[in-house]
Amino acid sequence: MSANPTSCKVVLAANIAKKLQAEVADGLAKLDRKPHLVGFLANKDPAARMYADWTGKTCIDNGFAFTLRECEREELEEAIRDANADDTVDGILVYYPVFNSSRDRTIQYIVDMHKDVEGLSPKLINNMYQNIRFLDPPHNTQKSILPCTPLAMIKILEYLNIYNTILDYGKRLWGRRITVINRSEVVGRPLAALLANDGAEVYSVDVTGVQRFSRGQGLRNQQHVVEEKPDMTMEDCLAISDVVISGVPGDKFKVPVEKIRDGAVCINFSSEKVSSPLNARFEETIEKEKENGEADMTTQHEQNFTPAVKEHASIYVPAVGKVTIMILLRNLLVCTAMARYFRSLTPSQLSALKSLETPSNISNHPIASEENTSTPPIDSMLSSSILPERIDKTNVETLLNETADELKRMVQNNPDVDAKPAEAIERAGTVEEAVPAGKAAA
Q: Which residues are catalytic?
A: 148
Contacts of 67 (CB under 8 A, 6+ apart): 36, 37, 38, 39
In this structure, how many other beta carbons lie within 10 angstroms of the beta carbon of residue 267?
A: 27
CB of 126 to its own copies, least distance (A): 16
* 191 contacts 153 by C-beta, under 8 angstroms: yes
CB of 280 to its own copies, least distance (A): 17
- In DSSP notation, 78-146 reads HHHHHHHH-TT--EEEE-S-SSSSTHHHHHHHHS-GGGBTT--SHHHHHHHHTT--BSSTTT--SB-PP
Stretch that binds its own copies, among 15-23, 67-75, 381-389, 403-411 (CB under 8 A): 15-23
Nearer to its own copies, 240 or 386 (CB): 240
Nearer to its own copies, 158 or 206 (CB): 158
Nearer to its own copies, 161 or 369 (CB): 161
Question: Binding string, 132-161, against its own copies, x = CB under 8 A?
Answer: ---------------------------xxx
CB of 97 to its own copies, least distance (A): 33
CB of 253 to its own copies, least distance (A): 20
Contacts of 352 (CB under 8 A, 6+ apart): 386, 387, 388
Nearer to its own copies, 46 or 218 (CB): 218
Query: Is 189 an interacting residue with respect to its own copies (CB under 8 A)?
Result: no
Among 32, 298, 347, 418, binds its own copies (CB under 8 A): 298
Query: Is 174 an interacting residue with respect to its own copies (CB under 8 A)?
Result: yes
Nearest residue to 431 via CA among 214, 223, 65, 167:
167
Among 100, 164, 233, 355, binds its own copies (CB under 8 A): 164
Assign residue 182 a region (left: φ > 0; alpha: ψ between -120 and 50; beta: otherwise): left
Question: Binding string, 195-224, against its own copies, x = CB under 8 A?
Answer: ----x-x---------------xxxxxxx-
Cα separation, 353 vs 377, whole angstroms = 13
How far, rounded to the nearest angstrom, does the alpha carbon of residue 404 sit from its chain's CA centroid? Answer: 15
CA atoms within 13 A on the CB side of 388: 8
Query: Is 167 an interacting residue with respect to its own copies (CB under 8 A)?
Result: yes
DSSP code of residue 225 = E
Query: Is 266 an interacting residue with respect to its own copies (CB under 8 A)?
Result: no
Stretch that binds its own copies, among 25-33, 118-126, 169-177, 333-341 (CB under 8 A): 169-177
CB of 92 to its own copies, least distance (A): 33
Nearer to its own copies, 10 or 350 (CB): 10
Among 116, 242, 302, 402, binds its own copies (CB under 8 A): 242
If binding means CB under 8 A, how many residues of this protein chain bind its own copies?
67
> Helix (H, G, I), strand (E, B), or coil: what is residue 321?
helix
Cα separation, 146 vs 331, whole angstroms = 9
Torsion of CA 393, 399, 402, 406, to 10 degrees: -100
What does the binding site for its own copies look like in residue numbers (CB under 8 A)?
1-12, 15-16, 18, 159-161, 164-168, 171, 174-176, 199, 201, 217-223, 225, 240, 242, 261-265, 297-298, 307-308, 310-312, 314-315, 415, 429-432, 434-442
